């Protein structure tokens, strides 16, 4: 379950950086 949460966070971070860039 922890891994799933981390993956979700990573996805969110990637999206944020993508829009920021």
For residue 5, what pLDDT is reported?
87
- pLDDT of residue 6 exceeding 90: no
The rounded distance, in Å, linking the Cα atoms of 4 and 12 is 12
The rounded distance, in Å, linking the Cα atoms of 21 and 10 is 16
Q: In the chain, pLDDT over 70 holds for what percent of residues?
A: 86
Between 19 and 5, name the one with better pLDDT. 5
DSSP 21: -
pTM of the model: 0.37
For residue 21, what pLDDT is reported?
60
For residue 16, what pLDDT is reported?
85
């Amino acid at each position: 379950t922890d891994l799933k949460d981390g993956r979700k966070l990573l996805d969110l971070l990637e999206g944020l950086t993508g829009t920021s860039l």
